[in-house]
Amino acid sequence: MTVGAISIGEAARQSGVKVPTIRFYEQIGLMPAPPRSEGNRRQFDEKDLSRLSFIRHARELGFEMDDIRELLALTEQPQRSCHEADSIAARHLREIEMRIAKLQALSGELRRMVEECGHGKVCECQVIHVLADHGKCRSDTH
Amino acid sequence: MTVGAISIGEAARQSGVKVPTIRFYEQIGLMPAPPRSEGNRRQFDEKDLSRLSFIRHARELGFEMDDIRELLALTEQPQRSCHEADSIAARHLREIEMRIAKLQALSGELRRMVEECGHGKVCECQVIHVLADHGKCRSDTH
DNA sequence: TTACTTCCTCTAGCGACTATAGGAGCAAGC
DNA sequence: GCTTGCTCCTATAGTCGCTAGAGGAAGTAA
């Protein structure tokens, strides 16, 4: 075996991206197809590990694949202005803040629903009634 | 045509659930298969409309299909204790609150990332650097 | 009759994986 | 050398909750 070549299992362990997911990323072109050993095994290097970690971290932060594709392309051109990376992140931040606002409205509605439930029979249940009738909701966010 | 029968288009308009989605719900057994007209068109009634609205509202509140299935089953047994409906809603509320907490940690990280970006070149960009290195994150939530 | 809309079924696609089947390669122990 | 057991390979199908499209039939208004 070539010295220093990293197997897919090892790459998975070090990057935190699962083995089938790494193959999937290769398939959709998010990862380059690595060279193969004589026995047809993928041989990754340190650069691949960095890329995988970058992808994993960005996914954990909720970036979508298209955003990640763009961000990865930017890392390959370190001399360019980071304006684009910045605006992708800023846009993503706005989206997340909107999702938070929406979820907070929902959780308020749910909490009210659960608290007002008298724990009696289904036919008197506030949870069921609110679900059946949007008019019983306080917020307009859904 | 039978008087009072509601077409799928009308049902969609009144319930806010799209036509293909209604058919999809029938297919997966979330909606009962309605009777058909001579020309093979679905004929819905008021009960179907309520059920569709219930589903739509629950989906908007972020309930999953399995939860909705259970909640719908409960509405059919109005004399039972609402304990189950209550616990489904309470569990869902906890899940949403966890999602909110997680998103807030992420938005904090993103905001820091964007604010610390010096708007220079990619090679100095904080956005790119943080993504490449999880160690630069402040929270452990991801 | 013609034109238009609504409806029908069936199939495939989305995103981002995950799971399964059926093999082949490889290292260690006997 | 042989067996055991692990990792790896490809290819396909499934997940969730829809959505889109093809290709055709039925209903409606002028």
Q: What is the pLDDT of residues B110-134, one digit of tens each?
A: 888 888 877 777 777 888 888 888 8
Q: What is the pLDDT of residues A41-60, one digit of tens each?
A: 999 999 999 999 999 999 98
* Residue indicated by tokens 């604010």: B115
10 Å Cβ neighbour count for A20?
A: 10
Cα separation, B70 vs A10, whole angstroms: 43
Residue B1's pLDDT band (boundaries 50, 70, 90)? very low
Q: What is the CA radius of gyration of chain A?
A: 24
* Residue B42, strand partner residues: B36
Please check whether residue B91 touches A, CB under 8 A.
no
Cα separation, B51 vs A107, whole angstroms: 23
Residue A1's pLDDT band (boundaries 50, 70, 90)? very low
Which of A77, A99, A114, A119 is most worth mutating to test chain B (most B CB atoms within 10 A of its CB)? A114
Name which of B87, B130, B129 is nearest B109 in CA terms: B130
pLDDT mean across residues, chain A: 88
Where on strand C do bases come within 7 A of a protein Cβ? Answer: 6-10, 15-20, 25-27
> Which nucleotide has the shortest C1'-to-CA distance from A37?
C25
> Which nucleotide has the shortest C1'-to-CA distance from B41?
C7
Give the angle subtended at the CA of B132 by the CAs of B129 and B136, to the nearest 5°: 65
Cα separation, A138 vs B130, whole angstroms: 40
pLDDT value at residue B124: 78
**Chain B residues closer than 8 Å to A77 by CB:** 122
Give the angle subtended at the CA of B39 by the CAs of B37 and B45, to the nearest 5°: 25
Scan residues 97-116 of A and list those with Cβ closer than 8 Å to B: 97, 99-100, 103-104, 106-107, 109-111, 113-114
Q: Which residue of B has its CA nearest to A101?
A: B100
Compute the nearest-CA separation of A70 from chain B (Å): 11
Q: Calculate the alpha carbon distances from A106 to A20, A111, A142, B16, B87 in Å.
A: 35, 8, 8, 19, 16
Question: At B4, phi and psi to the nearest 5?
Answer: 90, -5
Residues near A41 by Cβ (< 8 Å), separated by ≥ 6?
A: A7, A8
Amino acid at B20: P
Residue A34 clears pLDDT 50, i.e. is over it: yes
- B59: CB within 7 A of chain D nucleic strand: yes
